[in-house]
A and B are shown apart, each in its own frame.
Chain A
């Protein structure tokens, strides 16, 4: 396993409050280029909130996020995508009444330029771009293994394929960091194994992966490093072997005074 040393994302003391609830408390973590980084924690620990801050859906109340060396200040989701952060959603959010292919084509939006005039006149540049978008989308569907469903509406795809489609769509934005929010939720053993292979492949092809997951076994087997959130605070960040033995982590998952039977 090769772990490059350059830092891709650095979160420093990120705070997020909802009314009186401190959903994130001075969370700091560092994701290095080329690694698979896991973010785990019990329900309500703030994992998805961190995702939403990272991808520009929420503005942080304090702290800074550095992505590829530059601040992700006051960003909005589309600028986050433009900067190279793509995401999937815990409760799959596809464009239900578009075909699988079209879903991925939408993902190409941020890396393409054609406007109204191009659309109406269909000049050579626009035609070329459309052709490239379509080819890229087809490639990506093939890459995640659902090329045969390209012309089905997204809402008619089986659950596992919907998860894959969402990943293909995120990859279409050309990300440097792919953030996956519980991609294995609701999957059976075979599907999980296929997903593990897919994520490994994505990393091998040069995209850094941030993974929120409930399935601790999957995370420990897949991730280079893992951070644990509990009650909005980061309690641990290290390689899986160390994290698994961390007393605070065990306490967070099992409650105080219990032993591990993992």
Chain B
């Protein structure tokens, strides 16, 4: 795999063919998955794309800049609630999606700076607990801001959220496109795919830039980075803002897709999951993080679908609570992967080393 990628980098034509193949695969994937596995897996696919966006956002903060953030899901919440409040019967507002999603990115970015600013002097694990605290504070506010003025509708959440509309066409219903009927889940897939690709593109461009190098320098050695003239305060805040804005975009899409948001979706466990995607995939390495996002969305679902039936085949009946069993297996998988590959499944170091020895 590594060698294949290295050779792709050298050979332009091979790279073109590879991206063409990848493009075709991504284009027909929803039809294959939907046809072979049904709609529930298609939803999983849509969620995988949302989680990839989240993981790439957190990757900027944790992977590039090395700032351990355990409250990242708050920015997802900001994007989701912004969409919910501006496009639902709750306030009677129905603003268009092309306005809300960018606004969500900007607002989440602002939150990123606001929450990041007080934490700048903190190191490592202190930073983790403070960001965790911020994440919880935002969730608690979402839970309780239904009184005295009802803003978030409390634990019940906000329902009846407008579906995402593109050019007057709602993605919530099947769309006729050149005589082909594109079901709703497929339409969302293509939209999410487009935005996920955009975020991948932005991530790649940022990584290989003056800003990206400054982030990694801070991660590697903050004092040396300062001595190199990097204004670590501003560059860290920039990392928080960029990472958060990706989360804001994903949150807005989530709200439109689900047509419902509630504080429950933004628990600490969600932050932890996104962090696991980043670390398990390979911190700071974009393909690894994407892999982590896909795996950790698909794996629990796989266990969900197999935990019950597997018991029936083995013992003739369901002995153990399938929900507990699936999370148990998931936890074991996390441990096993980290023990086997402590730097993640697909870390960046190996690639670099290989290229380095090629050059030498």
Contacts and interface: CB of A to CB of B under 8 A. Distances in A.
Direct contact of A and B (CB under 8 A): yes
A151 B216 contact: no
A1 to B, nearest CB: 29
A87 B225 CA distance: 11
A133 B210 contact: yes
Interface string A104-123: 01111111101110111010
B221 A110 contact: no
A173 B229 contact: yes
A246 interface: no
Interface in B222-243: 223-232, 238, 242
A173 B216 CA distance: 17
A226 B244 CA distance: 52
Contact of A110 (B201, B211, B228, B349): B228
Contact size range, A: 35 or more
Given A77-B227, A152-B360, A130 B352 contact: no
A238 to B, nearest CB: 29
Interface in B200-215: 201-202, 205-206, 209-214
A43 interface: no
Contacts of A173: 228-229
Contacts, number: 121
Contacts of B209: 114, 118-119, 126, 130
Interface string B111-155: 000000000000000000000000000000000000000000000
B10 to A, nearest CB: 14
B353 A153 contact: yes
A142 interface: no
Contact of B221 (A94, A119, A130): A94
A129 interface: yes
A95 B210 contact: no
Contact of A95 (B224, B238, B242, B359): B224
Interface residues of B, number: 33
Interface in A110-168: 110-112, 114-116, 118-120, 122, 126, 129-130, 133, 148-153, 156
A49 to B, nearest CB: 15
A105 B211 CA distance: 11
Contact of A120 (B202, B216, B224, B225): B202
A110 B217 CA distance: 13
Given A99-B356, A151-B356, A152-B360, A106 B228 contact: yes
Contact of B230 (A57, A110, A150, A170): A110
A98 B210 contact: no
B228 A98 contact: no
Given A78-B232, A152-B360, A119 B206 contact: yes
Given A89-B224, A97-B349, A99-B352, A116 B230 contact: no
A202 interface: no
Interface in B339-360: 349, 352-353, 355-356, 359-360
Contact of B226 (A78, A95, A151): A78
Contacts of A156: 353, 356
A119 B227 CA distance: 23
A86 interface: yes
Given A78-B229, A110-B228, A57 B352 contact: no
Nearest to B198: A120
A125 to B, nearest CB: 12
Nearest to A150: B359
B220 A77 contact: no
A168 to B, nearest CB: 12
Nearest to B224: A93
A111 B359 CA distance: 29
Interface of A: 55-57, 76-78, 81-82, 86-87, 89, 93-99, 102, 105-112, 114-116, 118-120, 122, 126, 129-130, 133, 148-153, 156, 169-170, 172-173
Interface of B: 201-202, 205-206, 209-214, 216-217, 220-221, 223-232, 238, 242, 349, 352-353, 355-356, 359-360
7 contacts: A94-B221, A97-B352, A106-B217, A119-B209, A119-B211, A120-B202, A153-B353
Q: Lowest 3 CB-CB distances: which A-B pairs, in order?
A: A110-B229, A81-B229, A119-B209
Given A78-B229, A87-B227, 6 more contacts: A97-B349, A106-B214, A107-B228, A109-B217, A111-B229, A148-B360
